[in-house]
């Protein structure tokens, strides 16, 4: 009913097939309503990354030619900073839980508009390849690039994801008995598309607003949330926050993606009874490509190994690993190269950026920009980003493996490894480490820890870093990923 009313209200404000409706909100039931109402009208929903700098948000709204903007009252100061430079936005709708006065120039407040709208909106029928959503990637270089997805893609992705998650025999399963709460923003790849999966399954959904550890933990307990997903940083933050240290999180299923799941974090989560496992994808891929299949076999160490695997492709995903000439590499679980992919739900290019789109799709496969290996069973392991690969003495070493290893040392909370230029070796790895509270910096102990792994053949002997920096926190991007570009700049 509310989706129909939202569509009627938007139509009354001039939204037509092909219009672009932009949304600036925290995760909310209203966002979910827009996930459906806007595309079902034949219009395009632009999910705005509210964590970008104001000038970048301005760029994305102008570039996408947004017609109408739905904005949470908390972002009004941000909007004020860019409003007079918006080139195409003709109207504004306020989203607020207890709206005071309507700001000048606003067409209305969300709930008031819905209350006044008819509920017999007649959703049109149209081609399944019609564009449904768009949003902008948040790379560390250059201008944000717009990706886009069609109705067909937004139907096939949840069907395949539901098939993959719903058929997991023991751990990592999502079914009709679950309660779902995202902890990956709805503006970022539709919260990994899981709101569409949850709606498809008809399960209870909890949308937490702004991500604050205490709110998230309270909702998990009060609403009996059983399934979530987030980047590693958020899980780390929840487990170490004062309230999180004593919270009962047993049985909570959490997909970790957006960055590799470090073994140290996986072990800490498993100890708390959390059913944690990795998923892999990117903005360009809608996003899910693979999910780790953990099962319940093996001891604690085997469980950690299984859960940090980048995973098995979900149905309809075809993966390749290739060399520089796009020749397939052996599926031996060791040989690493760029990961290429095909699936029915990948962005077909970048909005109004044909050169970048052609590069993304060079050779007829989408280039992920990630380095990884496949094994004979088709399981993928990402070892690095192409941009972050460390080449030392002619050999690639995996920064993700090294980070994962260091994160398992008892004194370490988090670790990042980047390559720094070196006259003799080309590059050498350098580790940045955040210690757990109460631990003193001991670079020799950490070097010995890595050295031991190298002696046992678990990592390359070239991977032992000479230098380890102890830092209070690691630089991160707007979506909470390690900002390695900034780390390299600072170290240079």
Site of interaction with ligand AMP (CB under 6 A): 137-138, 257-260, 278-280, 282-283, 287, 310, 368-370, 382, 385, 479
Distance CA 145, CA 350 (A): 6
Q: How far is the CB of 319 from ligand AMP (least distance, A)?
A: 13
Backbone torsions φ then ψ of 407, nearest 5 degrees: -65, -20
d(CA 203, CA 180): 7
Total residue count of the chain as it appears in this document = 492
CB of 187 to ligand AMP, least distance (A): 12
Which of 60, 137 has the CB closer to ligand AMP? 137
Nearer CB in complex with ligand AMP: 147/412: 147
Active site residue 391: yes
Question: Rounded to the nearest whole angstrom, what is the least distance from the CB of residue 365 to ligand AMP in the complex?
Answer: 14
Q: How far is the CB of 436 from ligand AMP (least distance, A)?
A: 23
396 is catalytic: yes
108 with 96: CB under 8 angstroms?
no
Coil, strand or helix: which one is 107? coil
Place of tokens 């679950």: 178
Helices (H), 290-398: 300-308, 354-360
Of 271, 391, 395, 436, catalytic: 391
- CB-CB contact of 342 with 365 (8 Å): yes
Q: How far is the CB of 388 from ligand AMP (least distance, A)?
A: 8
In contact, 31 and 46? CB cutoff 8 Å: no
Which single residue is written with the structure tokens 């998990």? Answer: 220
Can you tell me the distance from the alpha carbon of 406 to that of 474, in angstroms, rounded to the nearest whole number?
A: 14
Nearer to ligand AMP, 162 or 366 (CB): 366
Closest CA to 180 of 233, 248, 230: 230
The values of phi and psi at residue 20, to 5°, are -115, 125
Question: By C-beta, is 39 or 480 nearer to ligand AMP?
Answer: 480
Q: DSSP class of residue 388? A: G
The residue (of 93 and 260) whose beta carbon lies closer to ligand AMP is 260
- Annotation marks residue 252 as catalytic: no
Respond yes or no: is residue 137 known to be catalytic: yes
The three-state secondary structure class of 153 is helix
Catalytic pick among 74, 111, 138, 396: 396
Nearer to ligand AMP, 4 or 185 (CB): 185
C-alpha 113/C-alpha 10 separation (Å) is 9
C-alpha dihedral (306, 307, 312, 317), degrees to nearest 10: -170
Catalogue the E-assigned strands of 137-271. 146-150, 179-180, 204-205, 227-230, 253-256
CA distance 4 to 11: 10
Complex with ligand AMP: residue 339 or 453, whichever CB lies closer: 339
Q: Which residue has the tokens 């139509």?
A: 11
Nearest by Cα to 324 from 342, 341, 334, 336 = 336
E-only strand ranges, 34-191: 44-47, 68-72, 91-95, 108-109, 131-136, 146-150, 179-180
Shortest distance in whole angstroms from residue 138 CB to ligand AMP: 6
The residue from 33, 284, 338, 414 that is catalytic is 284
* Cβ 308 to ligand AMP shortest distance, Å: 8
Residue 92 or 149 with smaller CB distance to ligand AMP: 149
426 DSSP β-pair partners: 422
Write down the catalytic residue from 20, 133, 137, 321. Answer: 137
CB of 447 to ligand AMP, least distance (A): 25
In this structure, is the dihedral angle defined by the CA atoms of residues 466, 467, 473 and 476, taken in order, positive or negative? Answer: negative
Please, what is the minimum distance in Å from the beta carbon of residue 477 to ligand AMP? 8
CA dihedral 389, 341, 186, 105 (to 10 degrees): 100
Query: Distance (Å, rounded) from C-alpha 424 to C-alpha 188?
Result: 42
Q: Residue 208 or residue 279: which is nearer to ligand AMP going by CB? A: 279
**Could you list the active site residues?**
137, 284, 391, 396
């Amino acid at each position: 009913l509310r989706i129909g009313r939202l569509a009627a209200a938007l139509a009354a404000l001039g939204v037509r097939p092909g219009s672009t409706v932009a949304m600036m909100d925290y995760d909310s039931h209203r966002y979910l309503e827009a996930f459906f109402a806007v595309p079902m009208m034949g219009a395009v929903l632009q999910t705005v990354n509210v964590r970008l700098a104001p000038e970048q948000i301005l760029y994305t709204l102008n570039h996408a030619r947004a017609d109408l903007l739905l904005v949470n009252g908390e972002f009004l100061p941000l909007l004020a900073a860019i409003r007079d430079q918006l080139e195409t936005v003709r109207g504004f709708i306020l989203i607020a839980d207890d709206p005071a006065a309507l700001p000048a120039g606003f067409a209305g407040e969300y709930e008031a508009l819905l209350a006044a709208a008819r509920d017999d909106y007649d959703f049109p029928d149209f081609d399944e390849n019609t564009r449904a959503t768009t949003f902008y990637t948040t790379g560390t270089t250059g201008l944000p690039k717009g990706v886009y997805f069609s109705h067909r893609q937004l139907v096939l992705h949840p069907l395949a994801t539901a098939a993959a998650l719903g058929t997991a025999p023991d751990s990592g399963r999502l079914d009709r008995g679950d309660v779902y709460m995202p902890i990956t923003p709805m503006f970022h790849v539709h919260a990994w598309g899981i709101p569409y999966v949850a709606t498809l399954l008809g399960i209870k959904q909890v949308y937490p607003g702004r991500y604050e550890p205490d709110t998230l933990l309270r909702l998990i307990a009060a609403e009996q949330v059983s399934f979530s997903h987030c980047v590693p940083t958020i899980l780390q933050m929840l487990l170490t926050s004062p309230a999180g240290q004593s919270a009962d999180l047993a049985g909570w299923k959490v997909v970790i993606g957006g960055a590799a799941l470090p073994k140290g974090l996986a072990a800490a989560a498993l100890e708390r009874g959390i059913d944690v496992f990795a998923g892999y994808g990117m903005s360009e891929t809608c996003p899910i490509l693979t999910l780790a299949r953990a099962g319940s076999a093996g001891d604690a160490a085997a469980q950690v190994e299984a859960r940090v695997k980048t995973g098995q492709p979900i149905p309809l995903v075809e993966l390749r690993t290739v060399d520089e000439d796009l020749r397939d590499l052996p599926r031996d679980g060791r040989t690493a190269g760029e990961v290429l992919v095909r699936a029915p739900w990948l962005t077909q290019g970048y909005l109004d950026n044909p050169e970048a789109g052609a590069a993304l799709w060079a050779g007829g496969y989408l280039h992920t920009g990630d380095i990884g290996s496949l094994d004979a069973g088709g399981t993928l392991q990402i070892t690095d980003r192409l941009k972050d690969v460390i080449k030392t003495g002619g050999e690639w070493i995996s920064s993700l493996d090294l980070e994962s290893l260091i994160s398992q040392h008892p004194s370490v909370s988090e670790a990042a490894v980047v390559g720094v230029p070196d006259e003799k070796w080309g590059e050498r790895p350098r580790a940045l480490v955040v210690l757990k509270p109460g631990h003193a910096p001991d670079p020799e102990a950490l070097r010995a820890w890595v050295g031991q792994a190298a002696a046992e053949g678990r990592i390359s002997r070239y991977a032992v870093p000479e230098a380890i920096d102890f830092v209070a926190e690691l630089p991160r991007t707007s979506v909470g990923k390690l900002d390695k570009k900034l780390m390299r700049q600072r170290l240079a």
